[in-house]
Structure 1
Amino acid sequence: MLTNPGSKNALLYVPLATICGFVISIALLARNDQINTTDISALVVGFSVALGLISLILARANAKLHKSLSEQEVAKHTLTKLSSAITNSGASIIITDSRGIIEYVNDKFVAMTGWTADEIRGNTISVLNPIESTETEDSLRLEPSCLGENWKGEVLCRGKGDQRFWAAVTISAVSNDCQQVTNYVLSGIDISDLKEVNRKMEQLALFDSLTGLANRRLFIDRLNQSIKSAKRHGNKIALLFLDLDQFKRINDTLGHDSGDMLLLTVADRLKSCVRSQDTVARLGGDEFTILLNDVDDAQDATTVAKHILKTLKEPIKLGQHEVIVSTSIGITLAPDDSSNSDTLMKNADLALYKAKEKGRDGYYFFTEELNIRAIKLLTLEQELRHALQFDEFTLLFQPQVHIKSGEINSVEALIRWHHPTRGRVSPDDFIAVAEETGLIVPIGEWVLKKACIEIKMLQQLTQFPLKVAVNLSARQFKDPKLETVIKEVLECSGLEPQFLELEVTESMLMDDIQSVIAQLNRIKATGVTITIDDFGSGYSSLSYLKRLPVDILKVDREFVRDIPDDLNDMEITSAVIAVAHKLNLKVIAEGVENIDQRDFLVINKCDYAQGYYFSKPLTFEDLYDYFCKIERISA
């Protein structure tokens, strides 16, 4: 048994020391002072047992000691690894105390900010805030009062020298055993490049690449927000839709670079006409929209529109050229006209087209009558498509006669539409709609093909070399495929090109003279005759007439109608005939209604005439009968 070393009955005492420094005494006690053989045997046995117990105790003690030493080594090694990881981390690491005072920064922080550890230590984290940073920068500010348990987000920071950079920051709280926060660990990575990429992507997605103005997507978003705000606060907003007048002519004449310069100048001027809370957007091409927030009434929008019209009229320098542009403006109000963004855009667009119809360089407010008209036009467009598909169109032919002999030289093909429920529809009621919607192109091709086929048939039936004149629309004339279409129609119908006359209005020739001449030459190359229709209605015709590859002039009916009562019309008509003949051009006077007009044209040596005095427009059958009668008379 174990006992203290001072026992008087001890037979044997052995002191043992552990490696931990503890002293253990082992003693064998006798029952009395006499030692006998039995006691010696007991001594040996007891001592052996005691040593076994001691060995077990020592083994356990040594095991615990080794475990403790291993844990310390592991902890020390782990701490070393953590320290190295923080020091060499790819992220910037800051450790502060519980008050936000910086105690430690790693090498990445030094590289990112330019501050050394000694320079930054002892400062609060607010030293990282840009000096002039405000909430409008959409960035949090690093302040000790903002520190919480855990947080992560994007922060605009500053380094030494006040250079700025964006960082993705994570803040973690460190607590002691009593759950009290003792430190904060801030880790951050520089995301400035990523923010710049995102900014550029947003710029591309929401802003016009040329002018930097809001694009359609951003404008519609702001329009929807303004509509909601107007509902909450009982305010009004105004939407202005703008389209530059004659932009295409300037762009085609001076080139696309000049066109871009013009658009940039217009964008800057538009921004100068509105307030900071308003939005100017470019939808594409030369179309702009303006959102006016918090207006009192239509007068506010009128004031802005007038200011825009005046500002845009100031000359714009484009390289060596100086141009003046005007604009047409359509205006709609919310909630007066609608509280739906799509409807407001449509309303402003309708008002814009009305402003153009009134003569351009002006503004027009949306009215419900415009909406009713738009619905009618949409219905008419659908019916026109149906008419084209189901062959509801027919052709009439009005003779063009030799002014002296009265013999038919050619006929003008005139389209007519017999509606299945509304009966005959006047061309004045559907040609403009067809032109606006683009349907005029397939309709025009139908007229061209139908006219050539029927005149060829009439030639075969009557053996008369009759010519046919077909009007080209503005869209058809600008179509780059027009030359191919003409060739295909001539080949399909079998009509020889010298029997086809194509009429283009004078107004169609007023844009880019070089492009016009090039297109006329392409048409002329097919072998057809070219006529300028409504001649005299333009403003600079005679100055470039000699440059145009044309064959015939048609005097506008407006100048013929009041002959012989209007001396001015008589002088204009006689002058046009004289100039045309000097240029070796033939002249056709249209709208001849009486003998006085016919006699005046004969005296002034006009070549051909067309009008009800000679013949009304005829159907194919009537025209055939006419030539049959002539043949019988001559026989």
Structure 2
Amino acid sequence: MLKRLIKQFAVSGALISLSVAVVSLTGSGLIAGDNTIGFKLVASAFIAVLFGVICLVLIRLNLTLQQTIAQREESELSLVKLSSAVTNSGASIAITDTKGIIEYINDKFCELTGYEQSDTIGRSIDLIGLTQFPNGEEVPTWDMNCLKDNWKGDLLSHKKDGSHFWCTTTISAVYDKNNEISNYIVSGIDITELKEASSAMKQLALFDVLTGLANRRLFIDRMGQSIAASQRRQNIAALLFLDLDQFKRINDTLGHDAGDELLLIVAERLKSCVRAQDTVARLGGDEFTILLNDINDIQSISHIANQILKELKEPIMLGKHEVIISTSIGITLTPNDSQEVDSLMKNADLALYQAKERGRDCYYFFTEELNTKALKLLHIEQELRHALQMDEFSLVYQPQVCLKTGSISSIEALIRWNHPERGLVAPDEFISIAEETGLIVQIGEWVLKNACMQTQMLQQLTGQSIKVAVNLSSRQFSDPNLEQVIADVIEETDLNPKYLEIEVTESMLMNNIDKVIEQLNRIKSTGSTITIDDFGSGYSSLSYLKRLPVDILKVDREFVRDIPEDLNDMEITSAIIAIAHKLNLKVIAEGVENIDQRDFLVINKCDYAQGYYFSKPLTFEDLYRFFTAEQLKSA
């Protein structure tokens, strides 16, 4: 209506002004002689012209008003079209002005955020942003800086009820016909489940499932960062290797659930001993590692190590059982010892073994001496592999004499290494290394096979029913296929199994007694007999002895060596013989070196004995000659 009135008024005024101007000018020319009348006519003409100008201005204003109204209608139409286009979109949509004020939201936005139209229209879009980060962790969240054309990203936002959700967000600008931004379209899709799944996968990839500590992969990555940081800051970082000294015994005795609970408690105690910038990791089993960053003096490392030793020895309740554990710790430093991750891991492992050798429940710093020792052990390992391939091993046999008759009842097979450069190498120099590397399994099978084969041959040559005793390593004893290995060797060598004695050390019987009994029964099922070697060197087998399916006890040489000077050794040895006989077991005493020791054993009714008093270990050829000489004497 206003537009129409302005338009009519402006056109009419312009026509009237033009007519008045013409009449006025004409009149002024016709009546030029009358000054008063002429002046009035000129004035009237001027007013008419002025009125016409005003009318023209009004016409211009009318055109501007029409353009403004048209633009507003166009903008409203554009917003309506945008709203109509996104109403049924599968994404959450919000349309804002250039300052981020919400002008429109679709139903999906309401469904996702919990906000209604009345809650949002006229408010800033940052109402869905976080005011506080969850758990103190900084994460990408909504910010007004995101409000620009072609912005994309994953944002953690919050709903009306305060709960959080992840949203992959795209922001697009809407331009008017003057190529200026008039609105922003904020589009989002809920990806919370995807983020949670990704986080779970990351947790599995980088963290230990049981304890939640860093795993090997994450720990090695952080070690690399720590090495670089120590170089920049001119300080040191420390790597600690730990394992629990009594874990296997507790795990086997109380079960794996108790073992898992123990590991969880240990993990928490370790975390309590270090700082926020340090890393505690579990590599597997009962092996833990700790990375100490930004260290300025070694004393602080020793303090933390002592704190760990103290903390772990505090009693732990596992169900109804109270257990006390300890740990051994190996420590290496960067850049002092190395600046390579692999080298530092190796160094810490070497230091850990040194701590164990020193009696456990202690820590030990890596030294170059340890590295030299490790290289030597590696060299020996390589030589042992070569020895297996080149058949450099041989057997010697020490006779075991029946103390009643004085005749040889059996022989113990002992391995020797015929080194091409160092000559004959005693077992003490390589058996422990073979145990650590796992080569003892192959070596043990070689000993078993050759001992049975040569004993069967000796029986044929001498006509005597000689038994052979073969020692098992702890790795062999724990092999579930041991029964089959023994059976295969007996069949291959054609030795009657009653002439084979399998010797196991007392330390092998200390763990899970039920599993030990099962394994011993499997060995006996082959027809061979079982001897407990080094009896008396342990501390718990005596209570289980009546349950163990064994045939012979071998008294440890430590109790025989000082007879008859040491009265305690005499009492212990006589007690072992008496207990064994009460349980219907035979007894062998090893390490007999003089007649007094032999006489003491005879008086206490020991069944068999072996040692240098009777014979040193003999090669197969010497053993054959020994038997031949004995036969000649008896003849």
TM normalised by structure 1 equals 0.85
Match of residue 18 from structure 1? none
Give the drift of 1:76: 12
Structure 1 counterpart of 2:474, one-letter code: A
Residues 1:519 and 2:519 are matched in the alignment: yes
Match of residue 319 from structure 2? 319
Q: Distance in 1 between matches of 2:137 and 2:582?
A: 73
Residues 1:488 and 2:484 are matched in the alignment: no
Say if 2:470 and 2:501, in contact at 8 Å, map to a contact too: yes
Match of residue 427 from structure 1? 427
Q: Deviations over 1:406-425 (max 9, x none)?
A: 21111100000011122111
* Aligned CA-pair RMSD: 1.9
Say if 1:139 and 1:154, in contact at 8 Å, map to a contact too: no
Match of residue 171 from structure 2? 171
Say if 1:227 and 1:334, in contact at 8 Å, map to a contact too: yes
Match of residue 191 from structure 2? 191
Match of residue 553 from structure 2? 553
Structure 1 counterpart of 2:540, one-letter code: S
Give the drift of 1:79: 8.4
Q: Distance in 2 between matches of 1:161 and 1:634?
A: 103
Q: Which moved more, 1:455-464 or 1:104-113?
A: 104-113
Instruction: State the secondary structure of the residue aligned to 2:131.
Output: coil
Give the drift of 1:80: 7.2
Give the drift of 1:85: 2.7
Q: Distance in 2 between matches of 1:300 and 1:398?
A: 55
Give the drift of 1:150: 2.6
Instruction: State the secondary structure of the residue aligned to 1:183.
Output: strand
Q: Distance in 1 between matches of 2:304 and 2:79?
A: 70
Residues 1:383 and 2:407 are matched in the alignment: no
Give the drift of 1:321: 2.1
Match of residue 352 from structure 1? 352
Instruction: State the secondary structure of the residue aligned to 1:290.
Output: strand
Q: Distance in 1 between matches of 2:541 and 2:154?
A: 66
Instruction: State the secondary structure of the residue aligned to 2:248.
Output: helix
Q: Deviations over 1:149-197 (max 9, x none)?
A: 3311111111111111111111122333444333222111111111011
Match of residue 592 from structure 2? 592
Match of residue 10 from structure 1? none
Match of residue 612 from structure 1? 612
Say if 2:564 and 2:596, in contact at 8 Å, map to a contact too: yes
Q: Distance in 2 between matches of 1:131 and 1:138?
A: 11
Match of residue 335 from structure 1? 335
Q: Distance in 1 between matches of 2:297 and 2:383?
A: 39
Match of residue 105 from structure 1? 105
Closer, same or farther: CA 130–80 of 1 in aligned 2, 3 Å: closer
Q: Distance in 1 between matches of 2:480 and 2:246?
A: 21
Match of residue 578 from structure 2? 578
Give the drift of 1:253: 1.8
Match of residue 51 from structure 1? none
Q: Distance in 1 between matches of 2:137 and 2:211?
A: 23
Q: Distance in 2 between matches of 1:186 and 1:276?
A: 39
Instruction: State the secondary structure of the residue aligned to 1:570.
Output: helix
Match of residue 42 from structure 1? none
Structure 1 counterpart of 2:268, one-letter code: D
Q: Distance in 1 between matches of 2:564 and 2:192?
A: 81
Structure 2 counterpart of 1:122, one-letter code: G
Give the drift of 1:138: 4.2
Q: How does 1:212-227 map to 2 (within 5 A)?
A: 212-227=212-227
Instruction: State the secondary structure of the residue aligned to 1:197.
Output: helix
The count of residues paired between Structure 1 and Structure 2 equals 561
From the two aligned structures, give the one with the greater helix fraction.
Answer: 2
Instruction: State the secondary structure of the residue aligned to 2:430.
Output: helix
Q: Distance in 2 between matches of 1:85 and 1:319?
A: 64
Instruction: State the secondary structure of the residue aligned to 1:314.
Output: coil
Say if 2:351 and 2:364, in contact at 8 Å, map to a contact too: yes
Structure 2 counterpart of 1:607, one-letter code: D
Give the drift of 1:252: 1.8
Q: Deviations over 1:54-77 (max 9, x none)?
A: xxxxxxxxxxxxxxxxxxxxx999
Q: Distance in 2 between matches of 1:540 and 1:194?
A: 55
Give the drift of 1:218: 0.7
Structure 1 counterpart of 2:92, one-letter code: S
Q: Distance in 2 between matches of 1:273 and 1:587?
A: 51
Give the drift of 1:235: 1.9
Closer, same or farther: CA 391–216 of 1 in aligned 2, 3 Å: same
Q: How does 1:141-160 map to 2 (within 5 A)?
A: 141-160=141-160
Give the drift of 1:117: 1.6
Q: Deviations over 1:508-556 (max 9, x none)?
A: 1111111111111111222211111111111123222122111111111
Match of residue 14 from structure 2? none
Q: Deviations over 1:434-458 (max 9, x none)?
A: 0111111110111011000000000
Q: How does 1:396-545 map to 2 (within 5 A)?
A: 396-545=396-545
Q: Distance in 1 between matches of 2:486 and 2:292?
A: 50
Structure 2 counterpart of 1:542, one-letter code: L
Say if 1:126 and 1:141, in contact at 8 Å, map to a contact too: no
Say if 2:130 and 2:142, in contact at 8 Å, map to a contact too: no
Q: How does 1:25-104 map to 2 (within 5 A)?
A: 82-104=82-104
Q: Deviations over 1:97-136 (max 9, x none)?
A: 2222222211111111111122112222221112213896
Structure 2 counterpart of 1:346, one-letter code: K
Q: Deviations over 1:216-254 (max 9, x none)?
A: 111111111111111111121111111111212221222
Q: Distance in 2 between matches of 1:402 and 1:134?
A: 79
Structure 1 counterpart of 2:191, one-letter code: I
Structure 2 counterpart of 1:428, one-letter code: D
Say if 1:555 and 1:588, in contact at 8 Å, map to a contact too: yes
Structure 1 counterpart of 2:335, one-letter code: P
Instruction: State the secondary structure of the residue aligned to 1:238.
Output: strand
Q: Deviations over 1:263-306 (max 9, x none)?
A: 11111111111111111111111111111111122222221111
Q: Distance in 2 between matches of 1:304 and 1:237?
A: 13
Match of residue 40 from structure 2? none
Q: Distance in 1 between matches of 2:574 and 2:143?
A: 90
Q: Distance in 2 between matches of 1:208 and 1:105?
A: 44
Structure 2 counterpart of 1:592, one-letter code: V
Identify unmatched segments of 5+ residues in structure 2: 1-74
Q: Distance in 2 between matches of 1:523 and 1:497?
A: 11
Instruction: State the secondary structure of the residue aligned to 1:502.
Output: strand
Match of residue 15 from structure 2? none
Residues 1:568 and 2:568 are matched in the alignment: yes
Residues 1:261 and 2:266 are matched in the alignment: no
Say if 1:554 and 1:589, in contact at 8 Å, map to a contact too: yes
Q: Deviations over 1:312-336 (max 9, x none)?
A: 1122222232222221111111111
Residues 1:302 and 2:306 are matched in the alignment: no
Match of residue 58 from structure 2? none
Say if 2:142 and 2:156, in contact at 8 Å, map to a contact too: no
Q: How does 1:237-316 map to 2 (within 5 A)?
A: 237-316=237-316
TM normalised by structure 2 equals 0.85
Say if 2:83 and 2:104, in contact at 8 Å, map to a contact too: no
Q: Deviations over 1:383-436 (max 9, x none)?
A: 111111111000000011122432111110000001112211121110000011
Match of residue 31 from structure 2? none
Say if 2:398 and 2:617, in contact at 8 Å, map to a contact too: yes
Instruction: State the secondary structure of the residue aligned to 2:593.
Output: coil
Say if 1:434 and 1:440, in contact at 8 Å, map to a contact too: yes
Q: Distance in 2 between matches of 1:242 and 1:273?
A: 14
Structure 2 counterpart of 1:162, one-letter code: G
Give the drift of 1:84: 2.9
Closer, same or farther: CA 546–248 of 1 in aligned 2, 3 Å: same
Structure 2 counterpart of 1:557, one-letter code: R
Give the drift of 1:575: 1.4
Give the drift of 1:563: 1.4
Match of residue 70 from structure 1? none
